[in-house]
Homo-oligomer: A and B are copies of this chain.
Amino acid sequence: MSDIPGPAIILLSGGLDSATCLAIARNLGFGPLYTLAFDYGQRHRHELVAARELSRVMGAQEHRVITIDLRQFGKSALTDQIAVPKDRPPEDLSQQIPITYVPARNTIFLSYALAWAEVLDARTIFIGVNALDYSGYPDCRPVYIEAFEKLANLATRSGVETGEKWFHILAPLLHLTKAQIIARGVALGVNFAMTHSCYDPTSAGLACGRCDSCLLRKRGFDEANVADPTHYG
């Protein structure tokens, strides 16, 4: 990988994980950095504001927001008229695929990132998925990331014409706990007060403190012995 740094695309949701992922990309020497967010009709659209601010503060070259309509497919508590689960016990959080799973979401996100990467001649796409505290999403597993990387190199002009592993999908948080991600982010100077994780914020953008995402985040700050800067509603 020593010859790889250069431009990179970072999927930046505005949450704690993707903000840390952006800091890691910068720290590894990648640049210029291009951040990509998606407006997919999510309940927690405050994260889009957070993503734009984080991108600017952390020195990205450009931030794009792509509007995609996943609501028309429905079937997820994040986009549909289904209640976001609250107050689930910790042992439940990583046990099964929750209702907040959005069908094929990361595949759609990575596909757009791949299109942009090819246009920019960027070889690297960062995605802040996490297989430990991942709340059971199938598209947050190592085997999924590897399959997408393989696809990326088969799908594109750059992948085919260079005849080598041109694109790299990097998921540096894959094997970290939430506490380890927070510790890494703190070490790299991420301002977590600017990040937004809640699936079901108040209209003022305050975190509910009770959805899976809030519970995992709270526990992470606790375990990392870092003061939780989240504004709860």
Interface residues, chain A, with chain B CB atoms under 8 Å away? 64, 66-70, 72-75, 97, 101-108, 111-112, 114-116, 118-119, 138-139, 141, 143-144, 147-148, 150-152, 154-157, 159-161
Interface of A is mostly: helix
Within the complex, the shortest CB–CB distance from A41 to chain B, in Å, comes to 13
Contact, CB under 8 Å: A103 / B74: no
Compute how far the CA of A150 lies from the CA of B151 in the bound complex, rounded to whole angstroms.
9
Contact, CB under 8 Å: A111 / B103: no
Number of copies: 2
Of the A-B pairs whose beta carbons lie under 8 Å apart in the complex, a sample of 30, sorted by A's number, is A66-B69, A67-B69, A73-B119, A75-B118, A75-B119, A97-B160, A97-B161, A103-B115, A103-B118, A103-B119, A103-B156, A103-B157, A104-B111, A104-B114, A105-B115, A106-B155, A107-B114, A107-B152, A138-B154, A138-B156, A138-B157, A138-B160, A139-B154, A139-B155, A144-B154, A144-B155, A147-B150, A148-B151, A148-B155, A150-B150
Contact, CB under 8 Å: B118 / A108: no
Compute how far the CA of A29 lies from the CA of B119 in the bound complex, rounded to whole angstroms.
40
- CB contact under 8 A between A151 and B151, given known A107-B114, A112-B108, A161-B97: yes
